[in-house]
Structure formats: structure tokens, C-alpha cells
Amino acid sequence: MSVEEVLAACRQQDGGGGGAVPEPPAPAAQAAPPPEPTAAASKPAASAAKPAASGKKPGAMSVADMLAAARGEVSDDAAAPKPAGKKPAAKPAAKTKAAAPAAEAKQPVGPKDTMSILAAARGAAKPGPISKAEAAARAKESPAPKKEKPTAPPMPAKPDYAKVAPAPAVDQAERRGFLVACAAIFAGTFFVTSSLAIGFSSLAVTSLLWVLGTARFMFPNILAEPPTVFTVGFPDEYAPGQVVTKFKAQFGVWIVRYEYEGQAQIYALESVCTHLGCTPNWLDGEQKFKCPCHGTGYYKDGINFEGPAPRPLERFAIRVADDGQLEVDKSRKFKEEVGQWADLASYVSV
Amino acid sequence: MHGQNYEEFILGVSGFLTAYYVFIAIMNAVAALYLWQSGRAKPLFRFPIVGFMVSTAHIWVIVTAIFLMLGAGATNGGASVLSLSTSTRDLIDSWMNPITYSLGTLGILSVVFVARKFFVKPIVAWSLLNLSLLFMGLSMTDMEFAAIVMKPDNVPIVAMIYLLGYFTWLGAYRAVQNDERIARGEQPLESLDNEKVLVWPDLVYTELICMIVVTAILLLWGVGLMAPLEEPASTVQTPNPSKAPWYFLGLQEMLVYYDPWMAGVVLPSLIVGGLMAIPFIDFNPKGNGYYTIAERKFAYCTFQFGFLVLWVTLIVMGTFLRGPNWNFFGFYETWDQHKVQALNNVDLSQYFWVNLLQMGRPKAPDGSSTAMTVVYIAVRESPGILLLLFYFVGGPPAMVIYNKFFRQLFLRMGFMRYMVLSNLILLMGLLPLKMVARWVVNLKYFISIPEYFLNF
């Protein structure tokens, strides 16, 4: 029999029966197996209480009502039949108050809390449960409850077979020597000559040599790269509209004599596509730079006009050197999209 | 291949073609034998007078004979005859451009999808396979076509196309069968065959055989095809055309339409992230453990669009149709270094301010502060920014409001999942939209801020 069935049976009995006498379940409750009487019907006290409750409430009794009623009946007292659901928890409290001293009976009846129940169980000053307010007051009065410190039993002595043989004095020295060795390494002194100090010192020296070697590697004796500053001939060697590609293989630069914004100039364009860094080719027939990777095209002045490149080619610095030759400086670049092509160092006027 | 005259080339290719045609003939003969012996040959029609019943097995026997004759013809100096006519090739070339190629592929795949009940029939699929192989054979006598297809780099891609076709067909075939069964109220085929098998010997034997076969193929491949080595690398000389590895050709094609950080970083990350999000988005239990299309139309179409159209099609395009300077070339077109393609890409802001409003693009006056420059840039690019905002912010709710299917999706998925799904779909849709915009109106970027490397 499930809980629902039990409750349904109870409800049926209370609502339908309405009689003052405990009697077998109502016809509707007969659907339940007869050998298992309902929890409510089996208790004479419960059946005694229920008529009173059902007398006030002709309708179906709620579960809360039933539970409250059942709780009330345990105390076999006349207070039980009073309408449940109002303060179910207050009833037992009221009950115990009768046994409690008279002074405490005046205490407001509130919901019991865990603290008070525990206090009651401990039975320090007041045997019965107390209200929340009372508990709070009490907690203030005696802030530090006496608590006996639990004393742990003494530890058993370590058996002889478990004892570690005392370490030789040398080991202890070495152990302590670690810090000393570290200090020695940092201080650069090698007066402490233990094996650990030697090991760590040599590690530090080796690391230092590696760092120094790497630093030396960064500055090779011979630089295979072409110089970043180089001359590309005299300005009058360049015909108007000419793109010179002979410096591309060595220096990665095109020297162009053309015009930009109506001004005749000689400028050095870097032969690197601004899309993904491939090397475009100068197509003389179509008068454009064309990148083989994704098809970007640039006009002769380096402005991108087709394909995906987001910005024009970049210029290197160019100037007329003291000997009258053009000198390209690859260490300085000029970008068109931020207006750097107006910089005097980015071109040579012709 | 290059440096040969046509006669030498034909002589070289005829031996290959003979083996090729004989291979196809044997393939058809095996198919006919299988159909005949297993009793699966379907009767097609009866000859009116003789009363002879023609079945599918007979058809494939006839096809075998035709291919055998082609092989015999190729070996006897007839290879130059066994080719598409020059006018046909020129016609195909003239029709080939990015738009017809991409939209045509999409159209063909759509037709195949809609009429899948017809196309998955074994007789139809086998016929299409034969026709495509015949087309390849006839095209191989063209020098340009052969140069691309027989390049050691590209041979695996040709094999991949056929493998992909086979597996797509297999999935669709079984899905169509299951869909018909489900429509009749029966269980899918996979649930009938749910007998458990043992790891040893069933699985281990299969794996062993696969291992041996793959090793053999790799050995033959390594022996037969020379490694595609090129000249020593140089920082100032880029090979022309410079092509990515085949599996990245789709990415390289994307790079043509987007800024590097967009196509190289953001979109690939989104592809990976989107694939990882599938279990989160797709909680439909249908189709688990069996092939089906009818029950999973949206998922199937989305996947096939993303994979077949946006990835495989672009790989094929990058392999066979992109030549020097990344120009588009037809199958039979000579790879001319100096092919001129009039492309003049224009940003959306240029279109809006200069072409539409007949004024200059807003430009911060010289010497203005950084904040002022940024404001001017924002104003300059406002058309593209607004357009994309409208697309990504307005798109998801618009789909819910105007589309019943997406409305149901939204209700079923909840806000978060729906937003993830719809934004991923919108992003996926942006790629073909951008490509078409590039081809049709030469649109370069919606948002173009080269000052801060922000282009979209």
C-alpha cells in the first residue's frame, strides 16, 4: 500500500464517515487491501481525535491537518482536537510548560530551534526546551560554556625496529650545506667545497656560458645578409615610368621612377606583398605588380587595386647620397595608408 | 609534360589511357558478373521480336565492350581522336568562371539532393561514375588538362574526389533506404543488424587487412609518383602559382576574399569551435546509429553545404582552376602568366561615399588627435559597420520571426543555443555572400580600416 493510498483512505474515511465512532473504512476505502488497516484507523487515539476535527471541517482534511492531529494525539490531551494547522509546533511546547516551573510558563511560546533542543538535552539549568529569544539571551549571559578539553591518550613509544639509525655527521653537514652552497653560488665564492656546491656551481657556470654563447651567436662575424643601406645608381639612369627589378633578387626592392599624386618621384618599393608576405612579380605587359599567392595586384605606384591585400606596398627610405648616387635605407619604411609617403625621406624628386 | 610537342605527349598518354580504359572495362565486367551471379540483375525491358530479356547485367557487359574498344583504340594511335572536340573544350572554358563554377556546383548538388531517390539508385550512380571516368579519359588527351591532373601533387586529389563521391553516395543510399522503411513504419536497417561481434577476430582482422592495403597503396604511390620537389626556396622568389597543401586550398581561397587575420585566424578558429559546439547545439536524438536524411534534413544540409560546397569545392577549385597569379583558368585553358583579368576591387565605403553620395570619403584633417581620427574612420566605415551589425544582430531574430522552422528551433533550443547556432550559420553564410559580392560587384571589404589592420 503506497503512501498515497493510505492518505486517500484516511481522507475518504474522515470526509465521508463523519461519525464519532471508530468504524471500519468507508466503502470507497475498500479498494485498499483489507488486511492492512490504514495508519489512522489502527490508532484508537487517532480515531478519537478525528471526529472532532472532521466535525469542524466537514470537507476533506488536509495532510497538514492530519499530521498535526496525529502529533497532538500523542500527548493524549484535550488540546488535540483544536483546529490544527495554526501552530502545530506550539502544542507540544505548551504541553511541557505545564510541567515546567511557573515562571517559565510565561515565556512566549515560539518555534523551537535546534539550539534550544540541544540545550534542553544538555539539561544545564532548564530542563525544558526554550524559545529562540530565550536562547539568545542565555547565550549572552554565559558566553563561554565550560568545555572539558579532551585529552588524547599518550602516544605509544616508537619500537626499536622502527627507529632510524642516526645519520652520520657528514650527511647532516651536507644537508645544511645545501643552503650554504646556494649562498656560495650566488655570492660567487667557492670556499665551501662540498660535492653539492661543486655540482650547482658548475651548473650555474655552464648555464652562464650558454647564455653568453647565445648572445655571441646573435652577433656573427660575417653577416650573410646584404647591407641595409646600399646605392642603386644615379637618378638620371632611370627613365620616366621605369620599374627596375634587378635589385629584387639581392635586396628585395624595386626602384621605380614614376609619379605619386602628380609629383614625379623615384622611390624604392619593398617587394613583399602586404597580404601574407609573398613576393609579387612585376608584369611589364600589364604594368602592375602581381602576387602569385592570392592574386593581389598593385599599380606601378604601389597602390593595391585588386585581390585581397589590405594596403599598398611599403616604401624604403631613399635619398641622394653625397656622391650623387641614390641610396636606399631598408631600415626605415613608409606606409601609404598612414600618410607617410608625404615624408621627404620616402622619395627623391626628379 | 611541358617542353613536349603534342605528338610526343599523345604517345606518352596513350599507354596510360589504354590501361585506364581496360581498368574501367574490368570494373564493369566485375559488376556485371556480380549482378548475374548473385541474381540481383534487374530485368529492364524485353526485345520486341526476339523476346530476349535485357537486364542490368547485360548493360554493363555492353559498357565493358565499349571501354575495351576505347582502350584498343587508344593504344593504336587513336588517342588524339578519342578526345573532346576543340570547340567543346573552348565552350567549357568560356563558361568556366568562379561564379558558374561555384553556383553551378551548388545547383548540381541541390538537384542531386532533392532528387536523391533517383540518384542513389545503384544503376544511376554507376552510370554517372562511368560517364565521369569517360569524361576524364577523353579530357586526358588535352595537354593542359593532363598537366594539371597528372601532377604528382594533384593525383591524390582526383582520387579524393571519387572517394568522396563514393562515400557521399553510400551515406545517401542507406539513408534513402532507411527513410523509406521508416515511412512504412519499419525499423531502420541498422537496428536489424545489431548483432554483437567480437574484437578478435572480427575487428582485428579488418584492421589488419586495412593496414596491409593502406601500406600497399602508399608503397605504390611512393614508387609511382615522383615527389613534387621544386627549386630551392628563396625569400625573393615565390613560385607562380604558389599553392597551399591541398587540404588548405579552401583556406587559401578564403584568403582571397578576406583579410589575413580574418581568413587565417578567426574563420578557421570558428570552424573548429563550431564543430566542437555541435554536441551542444544538436541534441536531436534522431539519426543516432542509423543513416537518415528525412529525419535530419536541416543538419544534413548544413553539414553538406559546409563540407561539400564550402570546403571540397574550394579545394577542387584551388587545385584545378587556379593558375598563375591566382587567376581563374578553365580545365583546358593554357596557364598564361600574363592573363589579364580586369579586377578593380572597391571597398564598401568607397561605393557609399564616392559613388553614391558623390563626395569624398570622410578624412580627418591633418594634425588631428588620435581620438578624432578614430571617429572619422568610424564615420567613413559606418555603412559596412551598420550592414554587418544589421546582419549579425538583426539576423537571428529575423530568422525567428519570418521562418517557421527557425521559430521552432528557437523554442526548442532556448536563447543561448539558438544564438550560437544562428550566429555560426550567419558566419558560414557570409563566406559565399562575400565571394559572390566580390565576383559580381568587385566588393573588396565591408569594413576597411587598414590603419589598424581591421578589414572585414
Burial of B419 (0-12, 13-18, 19+ CB in 10 A): middle
Helix (H, G, I), strand (E, B) or coil at A296: coil
CA closest to A293 among chain B residues? B242
Residue with the three cell numbers 526546551? A129
pLDDT at A13: 63
- Please report whether residue A290 resides in a domain: yes
Q: How far apart are the first and last CA of chain B?
A: 41
Contact B35, B44 (CB under 8 A): no
A213 with A233, same domain? no
Interchain proximity B343–A297, CB inside 8 Å: yes
Task: Say whether pLDDT at A167 is over 70.
Answer: no
Q: What is the pLDDT of residue A175?
A: 64
Is residue A246 located within the same domain as residue A338? yes
- Name A267's bridge partners: A256
DSSP conformational letter for A226 = P
Which residues fall within 8 angstroms of residue A79, CB to CB, at 6 or more apart? A72, A91, A94, A95
Q: Give the DSSP letter string of A232-261.
A: ---GGGSPTT-EE-TTHHHHSEEEEEEEET
From residue A58, alpha-carbon distances to A8, A78, A135, A268, B273 in Å are 16, 20, 41, 105, 66
Q: How many domains does chain A have?
A: 4
Q: What is the pLDDT of residue B13?
A: 85
Establish if A224 belongs to a structural domain.
no
Nearest to B240 among A292, A307, A311 (CB): A292
CATH of the domain at A278: 2.102.10.10
Does the pLDDT value for residue A50 go beyond 50? Answer: no
User: How many Å apart are CA B323 and CA A294, to the nearest integer?
Assistant: 10
For A67, the domain range is: 3-73
B450/A311 Cβ within 8 A: yes
**Residue B305 has what DSSP assignment?**
I
Inside any domain, residue A192: yes
Please say if the pLDDT value at position A51 is more than 60.
Answer: no
Residue A316, in any domain of the structure: yes
CB contacts of B453 in chain A (<8 Å) are 310
Same domain, A184 and A135: no
Q: Taking each helix axis as running N to C, give the angle between helix B370-380 and helix B382-402, from 0 to 180 degrees, rounded to the nearest 10.
A: 50
- Asked if residues A286 and A275 have their Cβ atoms less than 8 Å apart, the reply is no
| Residue type present at position A136 | A
Global pTM reads 0.66
pLDDT surpassing 60 at residue A52: no
Residue A157 within a domain:
no
Query: pLDDT (tens digit, 0 to 9) for every residue of chain B, 456 residues total?
Result: 456 788 888 888 888 889 999 999 999 999 999 998 988 888 877 777 777 778 888 889 999 999 999 888 887 767 777 788 888 888 888 888 888 899 999 999 999 999 999 999 999 999 999 999 999 988 888 888 888 888 888 888 898 899 999 999 999 999 999 999 999 988 888 888 777 889 988 899 999 999 999 999 999 988 988 887 878 887 777 888 888 888 888 888 888 888 888 888 888 898 899 999 988 888 888 888 889 999 889 999 999 999 999 889 999 998 888 888 888 888 888 887 777 776 778 888 888 888 888 787 788 777 778 888 888 888 888 888 999 999 999 988 998 889 888 888 888 888 888 999 999 999 999 888 988 888 888 888 888 888 777 887
Mean pLDDT of A225-232: 84
Give the rounded distance of the alpha carbon of B124 from its chain centre. Answer: 21
Question: Pick from B235, B326, B338: which is nearest to A295 by CB?
Answer: B326
pLDDT at A45 over 60: no
What gap in Å lies between CA A29 and CA A13, rounded to an integer? 7
In a domain, A279, yes or no: yes
For A290-321, how does the pLDDT look when each residue is reduced to its tens digit (9 = 90+)? 888 888 899 999 998 888 888 899 999 999 99
Which regions of A131-193 does DSSP assign to beta strands (E)?
none
The whole-angstrom distance between B68's CA and the closest CA on chain A is: 43
The C-alpha cell that represents A241 in the structure block = 615610368
Contact A292 B340 (CB under 8 A): no
Please give the residue of chain B at the shortest CA–CA distance from A298. Answer: B344
Sketch the domain layout of chain B as residue ranges. 1-82, 348-455
Of A217, A248, A281, the last residue of a domain is: A217
Contact criterion met (CB below 8 Å) for B204 and B129: no
**In angstroms, rounded to a whole number, what is the distance separating the alpha carbons of residues B148 and B335?**
10
Contact B259 A294 (CB under 8 A): no
pLDDT of residue A56: 46
Instruction: Tell me the three state secondary structure of residue A74.
Output: coil
Q: How would DSSP label each residue in B306-322?
A: IIIIIIIHHHHIIIIIB
Q: Which of A80-84, A234-238, B404-408 has the lowest mean pLDDT?
A: A80-84
Neighbour-count burial for A232-261, b at 16+ CB within 10 Å, e otherwise = beebeebeeeebbbebbeebbbbbbbbebe
Predicted confidence (pLDDT) at residue A78 exceeds the cutoff of 50: no
B177 within 8 A of B189, measured Cβ to Cβ: yes
Question: Is A116 in the same domain as A185?
Answer: no
> How many Cβ atoms are within 10 Å of A282's Cβ, its own excluded?
19
pLDDT of residue B175: 94
AA identity, residue B204: V
Probe site for chain B from A269, A279, A286, A340 (most B CB atoms < 10 A): A279
Residues A213 and A237 in one domain: no
B89 min Cα distance to partner chain A (Å): 25
In angstroms, rounded to a whole number, what is the distance separating the alpha carbons of residues B237 and B228? Answer: 18
Do the chains contact at A310 and B340, CB–CB below 8 Å? no
**CA pair distance A301, A288, nearest whole angstrom:** 9
- Chain A with chain B: Cβ pairs closer than 8 A: 85
> With an 8 Å Cβ cutoff, are A278 and B238 in contact?
yes
Cβ neighbours of A276 in B, within 8 Å = 255, 260, 264
Residue A271 lies in a domain: yes
CA dihedral B344, B350, B356, B359 (to 10 degrees): -120
A278/B451 CB distance under 8 A: no
Is residue A335 assigned to a domain?
yes
Q: Give the end-to-end CA distance of chain A in Å, rounded to a whole number.
A: 108
